[in-house]
Structure 1
Amino acid sequence: MTGQRNKMQEDVRFRVLRLLQENPEMSQRELAEAVGISVGGAHYVLSALIDKGLVKLGNFTAAKDKRRYAYILTPKGITEKAAITKRFLARKIQEHEMLMAEIEDLKAEMAMGQDNGFALKQR
């Protein structure tokens, strides 16, 4: 279970780093919506990324409310994002291959069922 949780946490970090690289001026609320986590979860992830030196805070110069920040990836953050991207992509390719194998197995089962007179009802 811990391995699965670590993968999910890394997926969230990957998505957050990717979004921030594209748009460093996203609010925590916007980031939370885009990633599919709570605002508190987004705050927690951002704080951890800042503590690790992967993201730094910058002033959001165009905002009327000077309390808004830009979340800027550091060189270390860019390097980490590249490493996470590589792992994320390898995991998704493996999931895709497993899913395709399962689909092929199901197609074969359906074909055998239809050949044996067990035709499935079509909707």
Structure 2
Amino acid sequence: MTSKRTKLQEDTHFLVLRLLQDNPEMSQRELAAAVGVSVGGMHYVLTAMIEKGLVKLGNFTAAQDKRRYAYTLTRKGVAEKTAITRRFLARKMEEYNALKAEIDVLTQQIDIDAELSPDGR
């Protein structure tokens, strides 16, 4: 069974990989704001991804500030993003199905309550 913390970490990695695939020039600050973590936390995530070989760090040549970096997904990073996407989608489908079942039960309960109500509401 996957812990809530592990799911949260995987969701963070999923979002970061997804954002970087489309916007490799995003800064750590921009990524942190988009994902909803601290800049220090984002630095930790990116460092771990670089060490795992998921992301490659390079200079962002179009930037005036040559200290800016581009975070490019490696082949391994693209494969990991695909695997995480599959797990993320499966988890969200389970959540959707559970929510839909709950909505169906509540809708039936409302219908039953309306039939039993003296004023028909």
Residue aligned with 1:71, SS: strand
For 1:37 and 1:118, how far apart are their aligned partners in 2? Answer: 52
Tell me the CA shift for residue 63 of structure 1. 1.2
Q: TM-score, normalised by structure 1?
A: 0.90
Rounded Cα–Cα distance in structure 2 between residues aligned with 1:104 and 1:118: 23
Q: Quickly say closer, same or farther: Cα 1:117–1:19, change in 2 above 3 A.
A: same
1:100 corresponds in structure 2 to: 100
User: Residue 47 of structure 1 aligns to which amino acid in structure 2?
Assistant: T
Moved over 4 A (4+): none
TM-score normalised by structure 2 residue count: 0.92
Show structure 1 runs of 5+ residues with no match: none
Q: CA deviation at 1:118?
A: 7.3
Equivalent residue, structure 2, for 1:90: 90
CA RMSD, Structure 1 to Structure 2 (Å): 1.8
Partners of 1:32 and 1:4 in 2: CA distance: 20
Residue 78 of structure 1 deviates from its aligned partner by 0.8
Identity percentage over the alignment? 64
Report the counterpart of residue 29 of structure 2 in structure 1: 29
Q: CA deviation at 1:109?
A: 1.3
Q: State the match for 1:61 in structure 2.
A: 61
Cα distance in structure 1, aligned partners of 2:104 and 2:78: 39
Partner Cα distance (1:52, 1:18) in 2? 17
User: In the alignment, residue 78 of structure 1 is paired with which amino acid?
Assistant: V
Aligned to 2:46: 46
Question: Which string of whole-angstrom CA distances, capped at 9 and with x for unpartnered residues, describes residues 19-71 of structure 1?
Answer: 00001000111111111222122111111101111001010101111111000
**Unmatched runs of 5 consecutive residues or more in structure 2:** none
- For 2:10, the equivalent position in structure 1 comes to 10
Q: Which amino acid aligns with 1:21?
A: Q
